[in-house]
Amino acid sequence: MKLLNISLKSLLNRKGTTFLTILSIALSVALLLGIERIRTGAKQSFESTVSGVDLIAGARSGPINLMLYSVFRIGNATNNVSYQTFKDISNRDDVSWSIPISLGDSHKGYKVVGTSLDYFKHFKFAGNKNLKFMTGNEFKGLYDVVLGADVASQLKYQIGDKIVLSHGSDKISFQDHADKPFTVVGVLSKTGTPVDQSLHVSLEAIEAIHIGWQQTPGDTHSGDMHNHDTANESTLTPKSITAFFLKLNSRLDVFNVKNDIDNYNQEAVMAVLPGVVLRDLWNTIGSAEKTLLAVSLLVFLVSLVSMIISLLATLNERRREMAIFRSLGAQKGFIFSVLIIETGLLTLLGILLGLLILYIALFSFKPVLESQMGLNVNLLTPSMNDFVYLSVIFASSLCVGILPSYKAYKNSLADGLTIKS
């Protein structure tokens, strides 16, 4: 009879407690790795808020500032970029496509983005996902608006609803463009990015609602200018935009183009690499991740302790068994091997079951994580961290096995032939 055989039979004999121990290890492992996945997922989805964009350009200011207003729609641009500059740069041979962004208006606190149809075609998030329409489609008419998922769900808008945009970003705006209501023509699917909190209209629409805005209110003449027909007939070519996204034909040209934009002499503009800035930004504001990391570590500690407790409990059960082995002449090596094989086996099975639980959970919650939280980055591939955690768990379980083995060895000697209970 082999040693492993004895261990297995002994484990099977204690099916109930064995299973509970394995389950408790498994739950700890699943919880720990699950939190890890969410942590790295949060970081990765933040870093891929915009993807497929090589450069973001705007008026010269700080890179983080440019990123904040163009991508996250936080704060305001210090300056605009002239439409001419946008055209000039977009028409470069090395530029594959470009998306203009024009900000400054809002609707009930949600930002309005003036852009082109390229936005829906080319904008990517979370790696390489394109924007999708939950209902409806792109804006076609001048007063069409496409809503982000959160805007539609929070304000309970549907296709065909008429909404009014306001100037500025405050919830209560003094300047409503009330005479120019927009019609909801599309709602985007959830992305987990600021796109969800935006309303999208054409650049021309932005121009249109601002016609006559700079004239003093109450000017009788402006009243005529404010009707739809006038707006459509006016020359609606935008004069300026806030920022633009660029995709190059070859990524190798990124630094070249960035350099050219930074040194553009007609206007003070600059370009940033979104990935780099997003990472910087995450590092400065990523306290959420640090919190999750702290939670991970705490969960890890608690998992270890609970694993140790359940292993110690099972090992105590083995006292009588060990006393019998010793009375039959079993030596130190045998007692140690039996107990260490047992803890190793329990931990291994616990880890495997934990991974199974984790993957079942990830697969079943994947749609929810994606649609509700916008977390959908590589949840399924194990990370280096996972291996580190798992090996620490395994190693410490073996150490835990050694400790009671020693105790069992000593005890069984003292319990010896007169085990009482």
Partner 1 sequence: MTSVLDINNLEFSWPNSTRPLLKVEEFQVSQGEHLFLQGPSGSGKSTLLNIIAGVLTPQKGDIHLFGNDFQAYTAAQKDKVRGDHMGFIFQMFNLLPFLSIIENVTLPCQFSKVKKDNVFDKGLSLEKEACRLLKELDLDIQLIGDKKVSDLSVGQQQRVAAARALIGSPKLIIADEPTSALDADVRDRFLQLLFKECKTSETSLVFVSHDLSLGRQFDKVLSLKDINKASPMQTQSAEVPT
Interface residues toward partner 1, by CB under 8 A: 1, 6, 9-10, 12-13, 320-321, 324-332, 334, 413-414, 416-419, 421
Smallest gap, in angstroms, from Cβ of residue 343 to partner 1?
A: 18
Smallest gap, in angstroms, from Cβ of residue 325 to partner 1?
A: 8
Smallest gap, in angstroms, from Cβ of residue 404 to partner 1?
A: 19
Tell which residue, 147, 142, 55, 54, has the closest CA to residue 108. 147
Smallest gap, in angstroms, from Cβ of residue 414 to partner 1?
A: 8
> Quick one: 13 or 230, whose CB is closer to partner 1?
13
Smallest gap, in angstroms, from Cβ of residue 384 to partner 1?
A: 40
CA 169/CA 148 separation, integer angstroms = 16
> Quick one: 403 or 413, whose CB is closer to partner 1?
413
Smallest gap, in angstroms, from Cβ of residue 394 to partner 1?
A: 26
> Quick one: 14 or 92, whose CB is closer to partner 1?
14
Query: Interior CA angle at 199 toward 196 and 202, to 5°?
Result: 135
Count other C-beta atoms under 10 Å from residue 398's C-beta: 12
| Length of the chain (residues) | 421
> Quick one: 91 or 421, whose CB is closer to partner 1?
421
Smallest gap, in angstroms, from Cβ of residue 281 to partner 1?
A: 60
Smallest gap, in angstroms, from Cβ of residue 27 to partner 1?
A: 27
> Quick one: 210 or 326, whose CB is closer to partner 1?
326
> Quick one: 324 or 373, whose CB is closer to partner 1?
324
What 3-state class would DSSP assign to 33?
helix
> Quick one: 254 or 413, whose CB is closer to partner 1?
413
Give the list of residues 6+ apart from residue 252 with CB closer than 8 angstroms, or none.
none
For residues 299 and 389, the answer to whether their CB atoms sit within 8 Å is no
Count other C-beta atoms under 10 Å from residue 235's C-beta: 8
What 3-state class would DSSP assign to 80?
coil
Count other C-beta atoms under 10 Å from residue 16's C-beta: 8
> Quick one: 234 or 327, whose CB is closer to partner 1?
327
For residues 371 and 190, the answer to whether their CB atoms sit within 8 Å is yes
Q: Which helix (H) or strand (E) holds 360?
A: helix 332-368
CA 321/CA 319 separation, integer angstroms = 5
What 3-state class would DSSP assign to 6?
helix
Count other C-beta atoms under 10 Å from residue 328's C-beta: 8
Tell which residue, 316, 291, 307, 317, has the closest CA to residue 389. 307
